[in-house]
Chain A
Amino acid sequence: MERKRHLLGLEGVSAEDIQVLLDSAETMIEISQRDVKKVPVLRGKTVVNLFLENSTRTRISFEIAAKRLSADTINLSGGGSSLSKGETLADTARNLAAMSPDAIVIRHPSAGAAILLAEVLDCPIINAGDGAHEHPTQALLDLFTIRQAKPELKGLTVTIVGDILHSRVARSNIYGLLTLGAKVRLCGPPTLLPPMFEHLGAELHYDLATAVRDADVMMMLRIQRERQGHNFFPTLDEYARYFCLTEELLAEASSDVIILHPGPMNRGIEISSGVADGPYSLMMNQVANGVAMRMAVLYQLIIPGHDGIRGSEIPERTPTSATG
């Protein structure tokens, strides 16, 4: 039987696969600019959006993407599903599988949820964010947005600032950027940037001024207000004093620096309004590119035959995690 392709994360996904996905998104952009924003390629296919954690833009982005490819979409969210009645994720997934979906998009508060689904189901699984693990389509659209502004990703210096520890966006971006040959700097308070991140191949910075210097791309992460009071940093004001990207700091970056933010942003905390609204800010491009990128992912996982992308491998379980 043909191996099902998954996108569980960007860890282990080859540079060739990433390039094919980014190139395909280029084609999808053109479709989104037409009067008739629809192509028939996924006609008769069913995409299930299983969103078990709050999300507006990612869910809508996946839904529009599937519809523009003519797929039928089914949306399930936490409250309305049988998970709220005590069913396990694996059992919910098996029930979904009985309806023969052609792909399942999953957002879940626990790391590893997408992998669990890929283990039990015989259908392509797309991770739309699992806990603090990965959010590969967000990273792909970030890579795509960077590539639109700077054609060669190899050799670029990309600085990611903020709550690296809890950020699945940062993790996926680190894997993708390093695979494509970019240099990655991470910056944040030591409580949110543990030394283990160095093992992935990134540079660690605790001072924003040095992290900004000559950077080609600044990627600002959202500070989750709910983390205040958990001893990661004393107050939002203090965080902003050290890690808010201002126009003054940005002057030290490369002259054609671009700014990315996965949204929703906190003005005045991780990013000043001047920077957020400045000409180098590509946040609105990110949103538009998100639909095209997700169209590319759905197409590549559902349609091409043996010479298509490989996608993610399902990681081997260690004996301890198998019982956990």
Chain B
Amino acid sequence: MSSQLFDAAQLRRALTRIAHEILERNGGADGLALVGIRTHGVPLAGRIAESIGLIEGGDAPAVGAMDITLYRDDAGQLGSTAILHPTDVPFDVNHMTIVLVDDVLYTGRTIRSAMDALMDLGRPAAIQLAVAVDRGHRELPIRADYVGKNVPTSREQKVVVELTELDDRDGVFLQEASHGA
């Protein structure tokens, strides 16, 4: 069983809204950069940055990509850690406001790892968090500043974000246990 939470248009509107919220909260795009968490956070960060550029009528904020495998607290417990991807943050994070972007916020452990990884690159003025979906079940005191959609889930369910940059289509789906992990 799989049900659709967002179609392509709804996802686009949610990301546009997040772009507006980021600008409103930070009083513009000065000193702002986005860092997407691999894999699906990276195209999401790109889309939000593009949206910010369009709204402000200037250059889109800088976008980086981050692989957090080497910062995970469960290294060795999961099977799928063999493939590493480079972290590519092509700007100085010192004194910047960095918006971390991920597809799904769940336990918060990925975000904890991403914050550690980001701090190893420098000392940002502030770190904020934007996610397409917040599905609950936090295990750490972490919350998102910008949320596309809050979705109550059970732990057996799986939330899947698909993006045309990586998958066949745009959309957010809720899968039941039999289809899930």
Chain A interfacial positions (CB closer than 8 Å to B): 20, 23-24, 26-31, 34-36, 38-41, 69, 296, 299-300, 302-309
* Residues of chain B contacted by A309 (CB below 8 angstroms): 82
Q: Give the distance to chain B from A140, nearest Cβ to Cβ, in Å.
A: 15
Of B69, B84, B116, B122, which one neighbours A23 at CB under 8 angstroms? B84
Once the chains bind, are A27 and B88 in contact (CB under 8 Å)? no
User: Which A residue sits closest to B119, measured CB to CB?
Assistant: A36
* Residues of chain B contacted by A303 (CB below 8 angstroms): 75-76, 81
* Residues of chain B contacted by A308 (CB below 8 angstroms): 79, 81-82
Task: List, sorted by A's number, 6 A–B pairs whose CB atoms are closer than 8 Å.
Answer: A24-B83, A27-B67, A27-B84, A30-B86, A303-B76, A304-B79
- Most B CB contacts (10 A, CB to CB) among A20, A26, A31, A41 go to A41
**Would you call B71 an interface residue if the criterion is a C-beta within 8 Å of the partner chain's C-beta atoms?**
yes
Complex Cα distance, B72 from A41, in Å, reads: 7
User: Which B residue sits closest to A29, measured CB to CB?
Assistant: B86
* Residues of chain B contacted by A28 (CB below 8 angstroms): 84
Once the chains bind, are A39 and B70 in contact (CB under 8 Å)? yes
Q: Give the distance to chain B from A23, nearest Cβ to Cβ, in Å.
A: 7
User: Which A residue sits closest to B79, measured CB to CB?
Assistant: A305
Complex Cα distance, B86 from A309, in Å, reads: 19
Once the chains bind, are A305 and B77 in contact (CB under 8 Å)? yes
Once the chains bind, are A305 and B70 in contact (CB under 8 Å)? no
Q: Give the distance to chain B from A83, nearest Cβ to Cβ, in Å.
A: 32
User: Which A residue sits closest to B116, measured CB to CB?
Assistant: A40
**Would you call B178 an interface residue if the criterion is a C-beta within 8 Å of the partner chain's C-beta atoms?**
no
Of A26, A36, A41, A307, which one neighbours B80 at CB under 8 angstroms? A307
Of B79, B82, B88, which one neighbours A30 at CB under 8 angstroms? B88
Of B71, B87, B122, which one neighbours A40 at CB under 8 angstroms? B71
Complex Cα distance, B88 from A34, in Å, reads: 11
Complex Cα distance, B79 from A40, in Å, reads: 18
Once the chains bind, are A307 and B71 in contact (CB under 8 Å)? no
Known: A27-B85, A41-B71, A308-B82. 18 other contacts (CB 8 A): A23-B84, A24-B84, A27-B84, A30-B88, A34-B121, A35-B121, A35-B122, A36-B120, A40-B116, A41-B75, A296-B84, A299-B70, A303-B75, A304-B80, A305-B79, A307-B82, A308-B81, A309-B82
- Most B CB contacts (10 A, CB to CB) among A28, A39, A302 go to A39
Once the chains bind, are B70 and A40 in contact (CB under 8 Å)? yes
User: Which B residue sits closest to A35, measured CB to CB?
Assistant: B122
* Residues of chain A contacted by B116 (CB below 8 angstroms): 40
Q: Give the distance to chain B from A299, nearest Cβ to Cβ, in Å.
A: 8
* Residues of chain A contacted by B79 (CB below 8 angstroms): 304-308
Once the chains bind, are A305 and B120 in contact (CB under 8 Å)? no
* Residues of chain A contacted by B181 (CB below 8 angstroms): none
User: Which A residue sits closest to B120, measured CB to CB?
Assistant: A36
Q: Give the distance to chain B from A297, nearest Cβ to Cβ, in Å.
A: 12
* Residues of chain B contacted by A34 (CB below 8 angstroms): 120-121
The 7 closest A-B pairs by CB, nearest first: A305-B79, A39-B70, A304-B82, A27-B84, A41-B70, A36-B120, A308-B82
Q: Give the distance to chain A from B88, nearest Cβ to Cβ, in Å.
A: 7
* Residues of chain B contacted by A31 (CB below 8 angstroms): 70
Q: Give the distance to chain A from B32, nearest Cβ to Cβ, in Å.
A: 22
* Residues of chain B contacted by A305 (CB below 8 angstroms): 76-81
* Residues of chain B contacted by A38 (CB below 8 angstroms): 120
User: Which B residue sits closest to A309, measured CB to CB?
Assistant: B82
* Residues of chain B contacted by A299 (CB below 8 angstroms): 70, 84
User: Which A residue sits closest to B81, measured CB to CB?
Assistant: A304
Of B71, B76, B82, which one neighbours A39 at CB under 8 angstroms? B71
